[in-house]
Amino acid sequence: MPTPAHTTSLTLYARLPRAHAQQHVLHSTVDAFGRAHWLLSGASRSEGTPYDAMVVTVDDGRVQETHLSAVTARHPLLDALPDGGFVVADARRRGRADHVQIFDTLGRTSWAFAVGDGIEHLLADESGDLWVGYFDEGVFGDDALGHAGLRRWSSTGEPLWELPPSTAGGCMADCYALNVHRGEAWAYYYTDFPLVRVRADGSVRVWDSPVAGAKATAVHSGAVAFFGGYGQEQDRLVLCTPAERTAAPYLHSTLVRPDGSPVGRRRVVARGSRLFVQADPYTAWEVWDLAAAS
């Protein structure tokens, strides 16, 4: 598919305060309530040794710091919980170790448990449940906890739901995109790239998608957007209307930064109708909202 001439611009959403600019960004996210968080470390980390870290939260211009003690994750993924605490998971599980830590509001570990190796996406919903999407080494590896490809866990490690192998979209080989908003999850995955909606009660609906290789999806009132792709299509944005069984495209565009430059290396978090994009060096979040375009 050729690069479309139509462009769509991101807008600035939240920025890491300059006072923390010299610290190393381990991970960053936007939570279920729209707050931006950065997990920072100021010192070098030794392999296998717990370390202290800081979460800097930016919420409508207000800044809060939370110091976390004895973080164990080597490849950390961060999200915030509704009670003011945080979850930090290691994307890779070593053996049978507990690799997910729940921190209270004072930064102390209150729970530790395992959800399986190969975490690609970790998103907490408004109730505090954790939705986890796995990449291929988790789906096909020795750790059975990730074999379903998509699972929901409680914040104390209780398994609540997993993607049934009988899902019409086929078994998942790699969770490319995950959107969690208001108790629903939307997943998009390799190999056939279906769009799958999971309701709070665990019921599943599947649509065929017209694009391959996207890295994020946004959804709003009868519309869905796919962002990303392979090679030169990494900044592609395709807007679609889900029909009975297929999501039909109605606009092809290229997502660009506020100054019109390419997005380049990025993190992406999808929450409902909004795509939050964080370009290298990962100190600012920018946003595009499907609701404003529909």
Give the alpha-carbon dihedral of 254, 2, 265, 131, to 10 degrees.
70
Overall domain count for the chain: 2
**124 contact partners, CB below 8 Å, separation of at least 6:** 31, 32, 79, 80, 81, 82, 87, 130, 131, 155, 180
Judge if 18 and 154 occupy the same domain: yes
Judge if 123 and 15 occupy the same domain: yes
Select from 124, 141, 162 the last residue of a domain.
162
Judge if 236 and 94 occupy the same domain: no
Q: Express each pLDDT in 117-170 by its tens digit.
A: 999 999 999 999 999 999 999 999 999 999 999 999 999 999 999 999 999 988
Whether 104 maps to a domain, the answer reads yes
pTM: 0.96
Judge if 195 and 116 occupy the same domain: no
Task: Pull the structure tokens for residue 32.
Answer: 């279920």
- One-letter amino acid of 61: G
The boundaries of the domain holding residue 284 are 167-294
Three-state secondary structure call for residue 204: strand
Select from 131, 162, 193 the last residue of a domain.
162
226 has a pLDDT exceeding 80: yes
Helix, strand, coil tally for the chain in percent (to 5): 5, 50, 45
Whether 248 maps to a domain, the answer reads yes
Judge if 171 and 141 occupy the same domain: no
Select from 114, 132, 162 the last residue of a domain.
162
Whether 3 maps to a domain, the answer reads no
Judge if 148 and 217 occupy the same domain: no
Closest CA to 32 of 204, 190, 179, 205: 179
**250 contact partners, CB below 8 Å, separation of at least 6:** 239, 240, 241
Judge if 103 and 176 occupy the same domain: no
Q: Express each pLDDT in 242-252 by its tens digit.
A: 999 999 999 99
> Are residues 265 and 278 in contact, defined by beta-carbon separation less than 8 angstroms?
no
Whether 277 maps to a domain, the answer reads yes
Judge if 180 and 79 occupy the same domain: no
Judge if 282 and 180 occupy the same domain: yes
- One-letter amino acid of 36: A
Question: In the prediction, which pLDDT does 3 show?
Answer: 44
Whether 1 maps to a domain, the answer reads no
Judge if 72 and 122 occupy the same domain: yes
Question: In the prediction, which pLDDT does 21 show?
Answer: 86
Question: In the prediction, which pLDDT does 45 show?
Answer: 73
Judge if 155 and 59 occupy the same domain: yes
> Are residues 78 and 29 in contact, defined by beta-carbon separation less than 8 angstroms?
yes
- The dihedral of CA 256, 257, 262, 263: what is its sign? negative
Lay out the sheet containing 86-90: strands in order across.
Answer: 76-80, 86-90, 100-103, 109-113
Whether 2 maps to a domain, the answer reads no
Judge if 183 and 217 occupy the same domain: yes
Q: Express each pLDDT in 51-82 by its tens digit.
A: 999 999 999 999 999 999 999 999 999 999 99
CA pair distance 200, 175, nearest whole angstrom: 19
Closest CA to 29 of 264, 216, 269: 269
